Amino acid sequence: MGANDTQQPKELPMVLLHRLPSFNLPPNPSFRDHLRSHFHILDPHESPEPYDSFLSRHAHSIRAILPVGPTQISSELLERLPALELIVATSAGLEHIDLPACRSRGIVVTNASSAFAEDVADCAVGLLIDVLRRISAADRFVRGRIWPVEKEYPLGFKLGGKRVGIVGMGSIGSEVAKRLSAFGCTIAYTSRNKKESVPFLFYTNVRDLAANSGVLILCCPLTEETYHIVNKDVMAALGKEGVIINVGRGSLVDEKELVQCLVQGEIGGAGLDVYENEPNVPKELFGLDNVVLSPHRAVMTPESFEALFQLIVGNLKAFFSNKPLVSVVSNE
């Protein structure tokens, strides 16, 4: 082999890591090392160069961007990246990404809902069981040494046989339905479109779904159409014994109306992992034993992060190899 036949190291494809200074990839050094072994990761916050000049210098080489968590992908940022073809989101929700601008540019977007689906579904069912059986409230009853004084504790409610309405029958909603079907619940759903492969009863709107359900579980993404999709009318349709579980986004629910309905006993309870103004939670909820609160942790397990890492690498490898992507978001 001659000197000119020596193979040169293959240049790694560039991927822009887009994050706020306070955000980073989950603390898994092996994943970061694995990512950097396959791709040239550009992180402006690791460079002494000013952000704008860093971005301008690399703009024409960046074909893929990896936004961390809810970091905004605006139309203005997209305009600065003329070679961009792919956004690999690290979240299930995409409200932080300007999807219409992506569609107009032909930029493909992937999300992480399939990586998070099982763990979020587990959390949703856990919240529901907790609300119905009053587990967290019972824990406070025992720890507060109230049991020896009051003797009796209020009855809980059986999960089996409940009519459950799922708002959003995507990967997370499907996993919720699978779990609750095993409990003997009757499942119905509403979604952007009726899904022919789904055997459950479909309702075209949330109010009708609520009127025919005892529980509403919110799994859908937050969009202009789904903002406050659960409003006062929906809560009234759900009724005084109805329960709302939200593992989607806080603004899917009109939080002020929800608080009022819970305080006045107009619905039966709620299990909330997300809120409208995180990390601020309405103080009126703190004293309610029929409300279970979680600090937006439904996806937070080592297993879900491992699945996320595999999904990110899988999508990026497929893209740079001109193969089908793993979790493309519909352009509909």
Catalytic residue among 38, 96, 105, 296: 296
Has 32 been annotated as catalytic? Answer: no
**The CA-based dihedral angle spanning residues 175, 115, 65, 220, taken in that order and rounded to the nearest 10 degrees:** 20
- Indicate if 303 belongs to the active site: no
State how far the alpha carbon of 135 is from the alpha carbons of 126, 127, 202, in Å: 10, 10, 32
User: Would you state the structure tokens that stand for residue 233, as one six-digit string?
Assistant: 């009318």
Name the amino acid, one letter, at 77: L
The residue behind tokens 């493909």 is 108
Is residue 215 classed as helix, strand or coil in its secondary structure? strand
- Separation CA 241–CA 146 (nearest Å): 26
183 and 159 Cβ atoms separated by less than 8 Å: yes
Exactly one of 18, 134, 207, 249 is catalytic; name it. 249
Residue 327 contacts residue 111 (beta carbons within 8 Å) = yes
Q: How far apart are CA 50 and CA 292, in angstroms?
A: 45
Six token digits for residue 39:
């791709």
Q: How many CB atoms are located within 10 Å of the residue 245 CB?
A: 28
Q: Catalytic residue among 49, 278, 297, 303, which?
A: 278
Q: Is there a catalytic annotation at residue 249?
A: yes
Q: Report which residue type is found at 28.
A: N
Q: What tokens were used for 79?
A: 């305009």
Cβ contacts of residue 126 below 8 Å, gap of 6+? none
* Beta-bridge partners for 272: 246, 293
Beta strand 64-67 with 86-88: parallel, antiparallel or unpaired?
parallel
DSSP 54-109: HHHHHGGG--EEEE-TT--B-HHHHHT-TT--EEE-SSS--TTB-HHHHHHHT-EE
Residues classed as catalytic: 249, 278, 296
